[in-house]
Structure 1
Amino acid sequence: MGDRHSAKAAKLNVYIQGQGFPILALHGHPGSGRSLSVFTNHLSQRYQTFAPDLRGYGKSRFQGNFDMEDHIYDLEALLDRLGIEKCLVLGWSLGGILAMELALRLPQRVTGLILVATAARPRGNHPPITWQDNLYTGVAGILNYIKPGWRWNIETFGKRSLFRYLIQQHTPTAYSYLAKDAVPAYLQTSPAATRALYTAIRAGYNRLTDLEQIECPSLVLAGAQDRHITVDASLETARHLKNCQWESYANTAHLFPWEIPQQVLRDIDYWLEANSSEIL
């Protein structure tokens, strides 16, 4: 990595678990390294997981504005700092976009991609947000933070809140993850991080035609009712990747790993086993 990029890179806070082949786990927006516990707690039983807080998220505080490309400099610097020569990259939502960017920038170092609720040309179909949506989401979020998975709150406020677009299966498990991993991450996401993301989206981010350069095996997972990044956008990405397996989960949305964790982790395990000779 050149001096210019080294000088620009922010030193990221990172959560490390387990031993074995490295898996770099990248969170979405809003999010933090902790938001990936559904993956890292499981995968770290056989691999070593690295889940950084991206610049402007979690404990990776950063002064001033930055753009999306800066995340890539930070992640390359992190791999160098930790002495990681090769790794698999798992990315959820924004993290999946960064995972593809890393694979394009560092083809010798990224041995595989697990892309969750993401797309190289992201498109959403989220309905307009009303003041009632925001009100119910605030109440549901606060009550759920105090008493995770409380059925009365789920029925009374959760299903009327914006959570109805993030999840389809309003289970105590999903709400427990929302309380433990989503709310703290949301509160720690900086305005600069939000600006960087929306600037890139407004500019019409589209990497589809570059995906043919990615040679490593990839697994693309999507929720069939995802309103934030549609299942069609994820499928389009999967079709542009050469060595790709695709899975879509019925009756789930953008946060589907929190809705059906066992099924998602089982599918990841099968894929890792089937592709171990190329990835590990």
Structure 2
Amino acid sequence: MGLQLHCRVWGEGIPSLPILLLHGHPGNADCMEVFAEAVAGMHPCVAPDLRGYGRSQVRDPFEMSAHLEDLQELLDRLGWRECLLLGWSLGGILALELALRLPGRVKGLVLVASAACPRSNHPPTDFWDQLNTGIASLLNWLWPGWSWNINTFGRRSLYRYLIQRHTPRTYRYLAQAALPAYLHTSPQARQALRAALRQGYNREGELHRLHLPVLILAAEQDCHITVASSLATARLLPQCTCIVYPNVAHLFPWEIPEQVGQDLRRWLRAQDWAKGGSCKVPSEGGAAS
């Protein structure tokens, strides 16, 4: 039996096809607020804290397949016969897997900084990278978006591989969402991901089965999941729109939220979604029931 995941809800009662928002690693439901705000008034959204993340903590080790069991059970509890999936990074991989598992229920996919065969070209890191990241994160938590901290420590930290636009607004996202998510990512979740990475992952050979609209959003400077990986996925999907943003990196929705939101809304409006679909969502902040 799957874990009853803690969820955040936006747009309860909107009579439109609902969207399940899936965060990355490390992450939680709060990290997906930028997407929920982008589609406010268009689609209801539910974002779970995945198993081992945020407020969906566990004590026992688990494998990555447990996420799919949890999510399928969540869809059943919500009563969603049809939905859209939007996944960021690891969440995009889970969205792909869920679409392959439940082809009749998933009507569209949005993959953000993700790929069916993710590849990385992250440079090696050292002690000073870690130290600068710790200092930058602490100061940014105390004084979000402080320019002196950004220029003194942020640009010398590991943030330089996650973002390209070191603006106060981006650092406020890091303080409000990224740092709490990092601190509430469990050892069990980290171990499950490490084990999966050691085994390798490649679902490119299955993409021809996904006959549904797909939007891929990718960053030109992403070294965690490269733009080449995302483009390779896009070429293999029968119905795919791909947008690559210049001068941004893996956390680009927090670098250019207006542009990402505009492109997401435009793509959603262009699709012929089913009208009057079922939409049952729990109350704000609670677990689905």
User: What SS does structure 2 have at the residue aligned with 1:276?
Assistant: coil
Identity %: 55
Q: Which residue of 2 aligns with 1:143?
A: 139
The alpha-carbon deviation at position 195 of structure 1 amounts to 1.1
1:180-199 → structure 2 map (5 Å cutoff): 180-199=176-195
Q: Which amino acid aligns with 1:150?
A: W
Corresponding residue to 1:129 among 125, 131, 140: 125
Q: Separation in 1 of the partners of 2:272 and 2:260?
A: 18
Q: Which residue of 2 aligns with 1:153?
A: 149
Q: Separation in 2 of the partners of 1:17 and 1:271?
A: 20
Structure 1, gaps ≥5 residues long: 1-6
Q: Which residue of 1 aligns with 2:5?
A: 12
The alpha-carbon deviation at position 80 of structure 1 amounts to 0.4
Corresponding residue to 1:239 among 235, 239, 247: 235
Structure 2, gaps ≥5 residues long: 278-289
The alpha-carbon deviation at position 124 of structure 1 amounts to 0.5
Q: Which residue of 1 aligns with 2:283?
A: none
Q: Separation in 1 of the partners of 2:8 and 2:40?
A: 11
Residue pair 2:38, 2:265 contacting (<8 A) in 1 also: no
Q: Separation in 2 of the partners of 1:157 and 1:199?
A: 32
Q: Separation in 1 of the partners of 2:41 and 2:151?
A: 35
Moved over 4 A (4+): none
Q: Which residue of 2 aligns with 1:4?
A: none
Q: Separation in 2 of the partners of 1:147 and 1:276?
A: 45
Q: Separation in 2 of the partners of 1:215 and 1:198?
A: 31
The alpha-carbon deviation at position 278 of structure 1 amounts to 6.3
Question: TM-score, normalised on structure 2?
Answer: 0.93
Q: Separation in 2 of the partners of 1:208 and 1:191?
A: 29
The alpha-carbon deviation at position 42 of structure 1 amounts to 2.5
Which one has the bigger helix percentage?
Answer: 1
Which structure carries more relative contact order (alpha carbon 8 Å, separation 6+)? 2
Q: Separation in 2 of the partners of 1:261 and 1:102?
A: 26
Q: Separation in 1 of the partners of 2:224 and 2:238?
A: 25
Q: Which residue of 2 aligns with 1:60?
A: 56
Q: Deviations over 1:214-255 (max 9, x none)?
A: 111000010100010000001011111110000000000000
Q: Output the aligned Cα RMSD.
A: 1.1
The alpha-carbon deviation at position 41 of structure 1 amounts to 2.1
Q: How many correspondences in the alignment? A: 273
Q: Separation in 1 of the partners of 2:102 and 2:92?
A: 15
Q: Which residue of 1 aligns with 2:226?
A: 230
